[in-house]
A = this chain, B = another copy of it.
């Protein structure tokens, strides 16, 4: 049904361009309006999220549109975290006990360009650049745009409008300001912000530090991470409080203070970044926010997808993956051949929202876990034990990280419930001395499985979510 319907997509970022491609493949008439220029023609790198972590859920979406092998060429596998301690020592902590489970560093721009090009191969897909959505009349299913080229405004209508216009979504803002229905909405900022920096290549396509890892310099209340790029560079991100602690973004207001901070806390990273001050001064400090809202759709007229519906903090490396998974889930609902868009949107939101809420909460958990608990001996012991279990029982045991990152056929919500219960079980069994890393592994696994099950059952009896 509905393959001749006109669909207007706001935003040609990662989610919008994938959605346009998929709906184009399904035969819909798709018009996409993007506020920025075509990133294939203009370098619009704004010093934010230059590369991203692509993992199983995102790859599943690439398979859906037949792009998995093309995308693979853009990927740099990262098999684990390379931890850089205060003394400059490094050690690799695998993401999984299974060799075939890893995450990938990928350039946002390269991936976005590929999706745009593939979408435009369909004659029923048209992408317009430099057209900023100002607001959406969700009752009339029309959107107001400003054309940055002619500096004029125009209105477009469509059978449905889908907003994939990111965390600052104009469609979501129209829902909020419209006050035509009860719109639940939250924006939650962490006390920390982030700033992107860069480790330049040693030579052409030559990496200054180990290529196949996500590098991390954990320092308690702040940290530095680095992800590799194909050209041999690393995109580095500093996560730091705006105004708390000895060092914070508000306080790092002179070159001297920035250098002092890096010399003291990240001397090895500083040695790799002669360009530090230039990057630090030129790149913005950006906030870390979570956005949730409901409903995502207005009747059968409009729908929010991707970051527009659920922006999350980056600490689980799942932002892009969650948005891509949205498209997979939406595609599944389209396969049901429901009668109308209202039924499609309702069915999609009902099945999807619990999962995007869960990954938002998991990402926040990880912020605190990385900040407060990584140095805790019992958390470290747990992580080591889990790697051993994954190696010994590859088909029986998966850590919370693996459930979330590598188990694309398990929803985020189920992964969260099981993963949290399992973490709690292990931490308590270790803490109470009921398991010991020298015990027989099978008996450890049995105890963990039993305790996890007990925790889930007890929560269920008490009706805790």
The answer on a CB contact under 8 Å between B373 and A463 is: yes
Q: A189, A368, A431, A463 — which one has the most chain B CB atoms within 10 A of its CB?
A: A463
Verify if A279 is at the interface (C-beta below 8 Å from B).
Answer: no
A188–B186 touching, CB < 8 Å: yes
Contact residue among B185, B373, B420, B461 (Cβ-Cβ distance under 8 Å from A427): B461
Point out the residues of chain B lying under 8 angstroms from A372, CB to CB.
463
User: In the complex, A187→B424 CA distance in Å?
Assistant: 31
- Chain B nearest Cβ from A463, distance in angstroms: 6
Any chain B CB within 8 A of the CB of A423?
Answer: yes
Query: CA–CA, A372 to B463, complex, Å?
Result: 10
A428 touches B185 (CB 8 A): no
Q: Assess whether A428 is in contact with B182, with CB atoms less than 8 Å apart.
A: no
Q: Chain A 172-215 against B: per-residue CB contact (8 Å), 1 yes, 0 no?
A: 00000000001111111100000000000000000000000000
Are the CB atoms of B368 and A463 closer together than 8 Å?
yes
Residues of the B chain whose Cβ atoms lie less than 8 Å from the Cβ of A458: 424, 428
In the assembled complex, which residues on chain B have CB atoms less than 8 Å from the CB atom of A424?
A: 458-459, 461-462, 464
Q: Give Cα A188–Cα B184 distance, bound, in whole angstroms.
A: 4
Contact A182:B287 (CB < 8 A) given known A373-B463, A463-B368, A463-B372 = yes
Listed residue (A373, A428, A459) with the most chain B CB atoms within 10 angstroms of its CB: A428
- Are A187 and B185 neighbours in the complex by a CB distance under 8 Å? yes
Count of interface residues, chain A, beta-carbon cutoff 8 Å: 29
Contacts of A368 in B (CB 8 A): 463
User: Are B186 and A186 in touch, CB under 8 angstroms?
Assistant: yes
B residues in contact with A183, CB < 8 Å: 187, 189
A461 interface neighbour in B187, B287, B420, B431, Cβ under 8 Å = B431
Contact of A186 among B182, B185, B378, B463 (CB under 8 A): B185
In the complex, how many angstroms separate the beta carbon of A434 from the nearest chain B beta carbon? 12
**A441 shortest CB reach to chain B, Å:** 22
**Nearest CB in chain B to that of A292: its residue:** B186
Smallest beta-carbon distance A172→chain B, Å: 13
A292 to B292, CA, bound (A): 14
Tell me the residues in window 423-438 of chain A with beta carbons closer than 8 Å to chain B beta carbons: 423-424, 427-428, 431
8 Å CB contacts to B: which residues of A388-439?
A: 420, 423-424, 427-428, 431
Q: Once bound together, how far apart are the Cα atoms of A373 and B184, in whole Å?
A: 25
CB distance from A429 to the nearest CB of B (A): 10
In whole Å, how far is A309's beta carbon from the nearest beta carbon of chain B?
15
Besides the contacts A184-B187, A185-B185, A369-B463, what 10 more A-B pairs have beta carbons closer than 8 Å?
A182-B242, A183-B187, A184-B186, A186-B292, A372-B463, A373-B463, A378-B461, A424-B458, A427-B461, A428-B461
Contact sample, A vs B, 13 pairs, CB 8 Å cutoff: A182-B287, A183-B187, A183-B189, A185-B185, A185-B187, A186-B187, A369-B463, A424-B459, A424-B461, A424-B462, A424-B464, A427-B462, A428-B462
